Amino acid sequence: EKGGYDHFMLKEIFEQPQTIYDCLRGRLDAEKGTITMSGIQKYAEQIMNANRIIMVACGTSWHAGLVAEYIFEELCRINVEVEYASEFRYRNPVINKGDVIIAISQSGETADTLVAIENAKKQGAIILGVVNVVGSSISRVSDGGAYTHAGPEIGVASTKAFTAQLAVLTMIALKIGYEKGTLDKDRYMRLLDELNSVPDKVKVVLEQQERIKALAEKYKDASDALFLGRGYNFPVALEGALKLKEISYIHAEGYPAAEMKHGPIALVDENLPVVFVATKDSYHEKVISNMQEIKARKGKVIAVITEGDEHSTSLADDVIEVPEADEIVAPMLSVIPLQLLSYYVGVAKGYDVDKPRNLAKSVTVE
């Protein structure tokens, strides 16, 4: 049932070209320029006119919400907030009629996310679910939404569900932005093509399996690691750190790259691996200077970069290349090496990567 792979986690990482493809299929037509999502279409007016969208989720799904915040604000010009479900549900949040809540969940059973949306629904919010498990509790409470169609995810660490969430959220943002008029036709058509080419580009990233495995061997004895990124890649840095913690039990923290100056840079010495998510985007020059700051303090820089980016290569101790892509879709590529890195570090340390200690696949108690 692991399809020849040693672990479900690896199988699920390698399924991503297919799962992203499945998620887009039947919805995105790049030639006609259409995105068909009936569970979103019904609420398109309300989403377009929403004062704000609130993404509610936990863990990796919360990271997908953070990426979506950047995408929705850019393409739809709607104010977005991203909330930890556990905090949101107890905070007595201000919810106005017509606020749009997007609940993001692989399992559809996460207790905090479920109760958060039940409460918000009572207060008149529209609830959309971006959920993987068909018929799950969160999907039933939601008014509308879209399934991620990633298939069953068995590994406790979420991998293919995350990239499928990003694909769905990006499609929603593209659809709403275009219908609303905040996204012009040229960029819209270009982004449809970009999204369509993600599955093939993920395949290219996966070809670097052996190289990433070697990096895992090199860094597996680190006691800590820092993950840094800016913009669309900031949540990817958070996700990289979460994956490493879960699977390899190495203490890792993710930060917006510029925020390190406000504290974490004190940790940097020659023993600290610092993983930069540094693909070429509108933040790139800024990330480069953050990389220089780490090098100046003798940190070990591992950088996920765009193919052929010689400047970053010259600064980093180790690089992992991903194909060039628009910054809107880049997180679906830049997260892949981080999933593989944590997988191989966990395996190298002899841990049970499919069932890390103390963790359950879905957190159905608060």
Site for ligand M6R, rule CB under 6 A: 58-61, 105-107, 110, 113, 156-158, 246, 359, 362-363
Tokens matching residue 97: 């009629």
Which residue has the CB atom at the shortest distance from ligand M6R? 59
Tell the smallest beta-carbon distance from residue 107 to ligand M6R (Å): 3
361 is catalytic: yes
Tell the smallest beta-carbon distance from residue 288 to ligand M6R (Å): 30
DSSP string for 210-231: HHHHHHHHHHTT-SEEEEEE-G
User: Is the Cα dihedral 86, 87, 89, 90 positive or negative?
Assistant: positive
| 23, 198 Cβ separation under 8 angstroms | no
- Nearest by Cα to 338 from 262, 261, 266, 245: 245
- Nearest by Cα to 130 from 277, 27, 274, 8: 27
Sequence letter at residue 20: I
Tell the smallest beta-carbon distance from residue 246 to ligand M6R (Å): 6
Q: How many helices and strands in the chain, by DSSP H and E?
A: 16, 12
Q: Given the complex with ligand M6R, which of 114 and 301 has the nearer CB atom? A: 114
| 277, 306 Cβ separation under 8 angstroms | no
Tell the smallest beta-carbon distance from residue 129 to ligand M6R (Å): 11
Catalytic one of 42, 180, 203, 361: 361
Tokens matching residue 60: 């990796």
What are the catalytic residues? 361
